[in-house]
Amino acid sequence: MKKIEVVRSPKVMTALAKECLQEGLTIGFVPTMGAFHKGHLSLVKRSTAENDVSVVSIFVNPAQFGPSEDFKRYPRDLEGDLEKLRELKVDTVFSPEPEDLYPGGYLTYVNVEGLSEGLCGTFRPGHFRGVATIVTKLFNIVLPTRAYFGQKDYQQARILQTMASDLNMDIDVIVCPIVREEDGLAMSSRNAYMDEEERRAATIIYRALTKISNMLAHGELPVSRSSDGLRNILLSEPLVDDIQYASAYDPETLEELKQDDCTGEVLLAVALKIGRTRLIDNMIVKI
Protein backbone atom coordinates (compact mmCIF):
# COMPACT_ATOMS: atom_id res chain seq x y z
CA MET A 1 0.00 0.00 0.00
CA LYS A 2 1.15 3.45 -0.84
CA LYS A 3 2.02 6.10 1.74
CA ILE A 4 -0.04 9.23 1.22
CA GLU A 5 1.71 12.50 1.86
CA VAL A 6 -0.49 14.90 3.84
CA VAL A 7 0.40 18.50 3.04
CA ARG A 8 -0.92 21.44 5.06
CA SER A 9 1.04 24.31 3.56
CA PRO A 10 -0.04 25.84 0.21
CA LYS A 11 3.61 26.70 -0.59
CA VAL A 12 4.78 23.11 -0.04
CA MET A 13 1.86 21.84 -2.16
CA THR A 14 2.81 24.12 -5.06
CA ALA A 15 6.49 23.15 -4.80
CA LEU A 16 5.51 19.46 -5.02
CA ALA A 17 3.20 20.13 -7.98
CA LYS A 18 5.95 22.04 -9.82
CA GLU A 19 8.36 19.13 -9.34
CA CYS A 20 5.80 16.77 -10.93
CA LEU A 21 5.13 19.10 -13.85
CA GLN A 22 8.88 19.57 -14.46
CA GLU A 23 9.18 15.80 -14.73
CA GLY A 24 6.43 15.87 -17.37
CA LEU A 25 3.86 14.14 -15.12
CA THR A 26 0.13 14.90 -15.33
CA ILE A 27 -1.64 15.92 -12.11
CA GLY A 28 -5.23 14.82 -11.45
CA PHE A 29 -7.05 16.80 -8.75
CA VAL A 30 -10.18 16.04 -6.71
CA PRO A 31 -11.32 18.95 -4.51
CA THR A 32 -13.53 17.84 -1.59
CA MET A 33 -14.77 18.84 1.84
CA GLY A 34 -14.02 15.36 3.23
CA ALA A 35 -16.32 12.89 5.06
CA PHE A 36 -15.82 10.56 2.14
CA HIS A 37 -18.39 8.22 0.65
CA LYS A 38 -18.30 6.19 -2.54
CA GLY A 39 -19.23 9.26 -4.61
CA HIS A 40 -16.00 11.01 -3.63
CA LEU A 41 -14.01 7.80 -4.11
CA SER A 42 -15.38 7.38 -7.66
CA LEU A 43 -13.83 10.74 -8.57
CA VAL A 44 -10.54 9.72 -6.97
CA LYS A 45 -10.49 6.42 -8.90
CA ARG A 46 -11.10 8.25 -12.17
CA SER A 47 -8.24 10.65 -11.38
CA THR A 48 -5.77 7.89 -10.53
CA ALA A 49 -6.74 6.01 -13.70
CA GLU A 50 -6.19 9.03 -15.96
CA ASN A 51 -3.18 10.80 -14.42
CA ASP A 52 0.40 10.10 -13.32
CA VAL A 53 -0.16 11.60 -9.89
CA SER A 54 -3.35 12.44 -7.99
CA VAL A 55 -3.99 15.08 -5.36
CA VAL A 56 -7.14 15.13 -3.20
CA SER A 57 -7.90 18.26 -1.21
CA ILE A 58 -9.91 18.12 2.01
CA PHE A 59 -11.04 21.55 3.11
CA VAL A 60 -14.37 22.64 4.57
CA ASN A 61 -14.48 26.03 2.89
CA PRO A 62 -16.02 28.69 5.17
CA ALA A 63 -16.56 31.05 2.21
CA GLN A 64 -19.24 28.83 0.66
CA PHE A 65 -21.44 28.54 3.77
CA GLY A 66 -24.07 31.15 4.64
CA PRO A 67 -24.25 32.51 8.22
CA SER A 68 -27.17 30.21 9.13
CA GLU A 69 -25.77 27.13 7.35
CA ASP A 70 -24.02 24.04 8.70
CA PHE A 71 -20.32 25.06 8.54
CA LYS A 72 -19.74 24.24 12.22
CA ARG A 73 -21.54 20.90 12.26
CA TYR A 74 -20.38 19.75 8.79
CA PRO A 75 -18.88 16.24 9.30
CA ARG A 76 -15.07 16.17 9.57
CA ASP A 77 -13.04 12.94 9.72
CA LEU A 78 -9.51 13.35 8.34
CA GLU A 79 -8.22 10.06 9.79
CA GLY A 80 -11.19 8.09 8.42
CA ASP A 81 -10.81 9.81 5.05
CA LEU A 82 -7.10 8.97 4.82
CA GLU A 83 -7.94 5.36 5.64
CA LYS A 84 -10.43 5.26 2.74
CA LEU A 85 -7.82 6.69 0.36
CA ARG A 86 -5.10 4.21 1.33
CA GLU A 87 -6.35 1.49 -1.03
CA LEU A 88 -6.38 3.97 -3.92
CA LYS A 89 -3.33 5.30 -5.68
CA VAL A 90 -3.49 8.81 -4.24
CA ASP A 91 -0.13 10.56 -3.87
CA THR A 92 -1.00 13.66 -1.87
CA VAL A 93 -3.80 14.92 0.36
CA PHE A 94 -3.82 18.69 0.61
CA SER A 95 -5.59 19.76 3.80
CA PRO A 96 -4.91 23.40 4.67
CA GLU A 97 -6.28 25.41 7.61
CA PRO A 98 -8.78 28.23 6.86
CA GLU A 99 -6.23 30.86 7.91
CA ASP A 100 -3.72 29.50 5.36
CA LEU A 101 -6.19 30.25 2.57
CA TYR A 102 -8.03 33.27 3.97
CA PRO A 103 -5.48 35.26 5.98
CA GLY A 104 -6.42 38.61 7.54
CA GLY A 105 -6.93 41.24 4.85
CA TYR A 106 -8.24 38.73 2.30
CA LEU A 107 -10.27 40.63 -0.34
CA THR A 108 -10.48 38.72 -3.64
CA TYR A 109 -13.46 36.69 -4.90
CA VAL A 110 -14.42 35.02 -8.19
CA ASN A 111 -18.03 35.21 -9.36
CA VAL A 112 -19.45 33.41 -12.39
CA GLU A 113 -22.41 35.65 -13.21
CA GLY A 114 -25.79 34.35 -14.38
CA LEU A 115 -25.15 30.65 -13.80
CA SER A 116 -24.61 31.31 -10.06
CA GLU A 117 -27.91 33.08 -9.52
CA GLY A 118 -30.72 30.54 -10.14
CA LEU A 119 -31.41 27.11 -8.60
CA CYS A 120 -29.25 26.69 -5.45
CA GLY A 121 -27.92 30.25 -5.90
CA THR A 122 -31.36 31.67 -5.06
CA PHE A 123 -31.48 29.84 -1.73
CA ARG A 124 -27.77 30.04 -0.87
CA PRO A 125 -26.70 33.59 -1.73
CA GLY A 126 -22.91 33.85 -2.06
CA HIS A 127 -22.47 30.07 -2.12
CA PHE A 128 -21.16 29.77 -5.68
CA ARG A 129 -18.94 32.83 -5.26
CA GLY A 130 -17.37 30.94 -2.36
CA VAL A 131 -17.05 27.79 -4.48
CA ALA A 132 -15.57 29.54 -7.53
CA THR A 133 -13.11 31.40 -5.30
CA ILE A 134 -11.84 28.34 -3.42
CA VAL A 135 -11.57 26.26 -6.59
CA THR A 136 -9.58 29.03 -8.30
CA LYS A 137 -7.26 29.19 -5.29
CA LEU A 138 -6.89 25.40 -5.16
CA PHE A 139 -6.20 25.27 -8.92
CA ASN A 140 -3.45 27.91 -8.46
CA ILE A 141 -1.92 25.92 -5.59
CA VAL A 142 -2.23 22.36 -6.97
CA LEU A 143 -1.56 23.22 -10.68
CA PRO A 144 -3.68 20.30 -11.96
CA THR A 145 -3.82 19.00 -15.51
CA ARG A 146 -7.35 17.64 -14.94
CA ALA A 147 -9.87 18.28 -12.15
CA TYR A 148 -12.78 15.99 -11.26
CA PHE A 149 -16.21 17.04 -10.01
CA GLY A 150 -19.50 15.16 -9.47
CA GLN A 151 -22.70 15.61 -11.46
CA LYS A 152 -24.42 15.44 -8.06
CA ASP A 153 -23.63 19.16 -7.80
CA TYR A 154 -24.65 19.86 -11.39
CA GLN A 155 -24.85 23.64 -11.11
CA GLN A 156 -21.45 23.76 -9.40
CA ALA A 157 -19.90 21.67 -12.19
CA ARG A 158 -21.39 23.93 -14.91
CA ILE A 159 -20.14 27.03 -13.08
CA LEU A 160 -16.63 25.61 -12.73
CA GLN A 161 -16.47 24.51 -16.39
CA THR A 162 -17.51 28.02 -17.41
CA MET A 163 -15.05 29.62 -15.00
CA ALA A 164 -12.13 27.53 -16.30
CA SER A 165 -13.01 28.41 -19.88
CA ASP A 166 -13.75 32.13 -19.24
CA LEU A 167 -10.57 32.66 -17.24
CA ASN A 168 -8.37 30.71 -19.71
CA MET A 169 -7.41 28.13 -17.09
CA ASP A 170 -5.51 25.37 -18.87
CA ILE A 171 -7.28 22.63 -16.89
CA ASP A 172 -9.72 19.95 -18.07
CA VAL A 173 -12.80 20.10 -15.83
CA ILE A 174 -14.27 16.60 -15.88
CA VAL A 175 -17.77 15.79 -14.59
CA CYS A 176 -18.37 12.27 -13.22
CA PRO A 177 -21.71 10.41 -12.77
CA ILE A 178 -23.75 10.47 -9.55
CA VAL A 179 -23.09 7.55 -7.23
CA ARG A 180 -26.23 6.38 -5.43
CA GLU A 181 -27.17 4.21 -2.46
CA GLU A 182 -28.93 0.93 -3.28
CA ASP A 183 -32.33 2.58 -2.85
CA GLY A 184 -31.38 5.38 -5.24
CA LEU A 185 -30.58 8.19 -2.78
CA ALA A 186 -27.64 10.19 -4.12
CA MET A 187 -24.69 9.78 -1.75
CA SER A 188 -23.90 12.92 0.23
CA SER A 189 -21.94 13.72 3.37
CA ARG A 190 -25.12 15.44 4.60
CA ASN A 191 -27.16 12.20 4.46
CA ALA A 192 -25.66 11.41 7.87
CA TYR A 193 -27.75 14.24 9.39
CA MET A 194 -31.00 12.29 8.80
CA ASP A 195 -32.62 9.88 11.25
CA GLU A 196 -33.97 6.53 10.06
CA GLU A 197 -37.42 7.81 9.17
CA GLU A 198 -36.06 10.83 7.29
CA ARG A 199 -33.55 8.63 5.48
CA ARG A 200 -36.38 6.40 4.28
CA ALA A 201 -38.45 9.41 3.20
CA ALA A 202 -35.46 10.80 1.24
CA THR A 203 -35.79 8.03 -1.37
CA ILE A 204 -38.80 9.94 -2.77
CA ILE A 205 -36.36 12.25 -4.59
CA TYR A 206 -34.89 9.49 -6.75
CA ARG A 207 -38.32 7.98 -7.30
CA ALA A 208 -39.72 11.32 -8.48
CA LEU A 209 -36.76 12.01 -10.79
CA THR A 210 -36.91 8.50 -12.29
CA LYS A 211 -40.66 8.59 -12.85
CA ILE A 212 -40.72 12.03 -14.49
CA SER A 213 -37.59 11.32 -16.50
CA ASN A 214 -39.17 8.13 -17.92
CA MET A 215 -42.39 9.98 -18.73
CA LEU A 216 -40.48 12.76 -20.54
CA ALA A 217 -38.33 10.27 -22.43
CA HIS A 218 -41.44 8.41 -23.64
CA GLY A 219 -43.38 11.54 -24.54
CA GLU A 220 -45.96 10.85 -21.81
CA LEU A 221 -45.50 14.28 -20.19
CA PRO A 222 -44.82 17.64 -21.84
CA VAL A 223 -41.60 19.28 -20.56
CA SER A 224 -43.60 22.29 -19.32
CA ARG A 225 -45.42 19.99 -16.86
CA SER A 226 -42.21 18.60 -15.31
CA SER A 227 -42.37 20.84 -12.26
CA ASP A 228 -45.98 19.86 -11.44
CA GLY A 229 -45.15 16.20 -12.03
CA LEU A 230 -42.12 16.28 -9.72
CA ARG A 231 -43.87 18.29 -7.01
CA ASN A 232 -46.91 16.00 -6.96
CA ILE A 233 -44.74 12.98 -6.31
CA LEU A 234 -42.46 14.75 -3.81
CA LEU A 235 -45.42 16.07 -1.82
CA SER A 236 -46.84 12.56 -1.47
CA GLU A 237 -44.11 12.09 1.16
CA PRO A 238 -45.23 13.85 4.37
CA LEU A 239 -41.65 14.43 5.63
CA VAL A 240 -40.79 16.48 2.54
CA ASP A 241 -40.63 20.09 3.59
CA ASP A 242 -39.75 23.20 1.66
CA ILE A 243 -39.32 22.20 -1.99
CA GLN A 244 -36.89 24.94 -3.05
CA TYR A 245 -36.95 23.98 -6.71
CA ALA A 246 -38.08 21.01 -8.79
CA SER A 247 -38.32 21.41 -12.53
CA ALA A 248 -36.76 20.94 -15.98
CA TYR A 249 -33.82 23.14 -16.98
CA ASP A 250 -31.56 23.73 -19.96
CA PRO A 251 -28.42 21.73 -19.08
CA GLU A 252 -26.15 24.46 -20.53
CA THR A 253 -27.74 27.73 -19.39
CA LEU A 254 -29.65 26.30 -16.37
CA GLU A 255 -32.71 28.30 -17.42
CA GLU A 256 -36.04 26.72 -16.55
CA LEU A 257 -37.72 25.11 -19.57
CA LYS A 258 -41.30 26.30 -19.88
CA GLN A 259 -41.89 25.38 -23.51
CA ASP A 260 -42.66 21.91 -24.87
CA ASP A 261 -40.70 21.92 -28.12
CA CYS A 262 -37.48 20.77 -26.43
CA THR A 263 -35.25 18.22 -28.08
CA GLY A 264 -31.93 16.78 -26.97
CA GLU A 265 -31.05 16.82 -23.27
CA VAL A 266 -33.08 18.21 -20.42
CA LEU A 267 -31.88 18.56 -16.82
CA LEU A 268 -34.34 17.60 -14.09
CA ALA A 269 -33.16 19.07 -10.79
CA VAL A 270 -34.56 19.10 -7.26
CA ALA A 271 -33.65 20.76 -3.94
CA LEU A 272 -35.72 20.27 -0.81
CA LYS A 273 -35.52 19.84 2.91
CA ILE A 274 -36.37 16.78 4.95
CA GLY A 275 -36.35 17.93 8.56
CA ARG A 276 -33.28 20.18 8.85
CA THR A 277 -31.40 18.40 6.06
CA ARG A 278 -31.18 20.07 2.66
CA LEU A 279 -30.89 17.54 -0.19
CA ILE A 280 -30.23 18.05 -3.90
CA ASP A 281 -30.33 15.65 -6.83
CA ASN A 282 -30.66 15.70 -10.60
CA MET A 283 -30.96 13.59 -13.72
CA ILE A 284 -30.27 14.24 -17.42
CA VAL A 285 -33.06 13.05 -19.75
CA LYS A 286 -32.76 12.57 -23.49
CA ILE A 287 -35.94 13.76 -25.19
Closest approach of Cβ 131 to ligand AMP, in Å? Answer: 9
Closest approach of Cβ 188 to ligand AMP, in Å? Answer: 5
Tell me whether residue 65 or residue 249 sits nearer to ligand AMP (CB atom). Answer: 65
Tell me whether residue 146 or residue 152 sits nearer to ligand AMP (CB atom). Answer: 152
The amino acid that residue 226 corresponds to is: S
Tell me whether residue 198 or residue 281 sits nearer to ligand AMP (CB atom). Answer: 281
| Cα four-point dihedral sign 204, 208, 209, 210 | positive
Closest approach of Cβ 22 to ligand AMP, in Å? Answer: 28
Q: Which chain residues interact with ligand AMP by CB under 6 A?
A: 32-33, 39-40, 42-43, 149-150, 152-153, 176, 178-179, 186-189
Distances in Å between the Cα of 227 and the Cα atoms of 58, 90, 167, 215 are 36, 41, 34, 13
The amino acid that residue 160 corresponds to is: L
| Contact between 239 and 197 (Cβ < 8 Å) | yes
Number of Cβ atoms within 10 Å of the Cβ of 187: 19
Active site residues: 40
Tell me whether residue 131 or residue 262 sits nearer to ligand AMP (CB atom). Answer: 131
Tell me whether residue 173 or residue 221 sits nearer to ligand AMP (CB atom). Answer: 173
Q: How far apart are CA 278 and CA 75, in angstroms?
A: 14
> First CA to last CA across the chain, in angstroms?
46
Q: How far apart are CA 230 and CA 223, in angstroms?
A: 11
173's CB contacts (< 8 A; 6+ apart) are 146, 147, 149, 157, 160, 161, 164
Closest approach of Cβ 283 to ligand AMP, in Å? Answer: 13
Closest approach of Cβ 68 to ligand AMP, in Å? Answer: 19
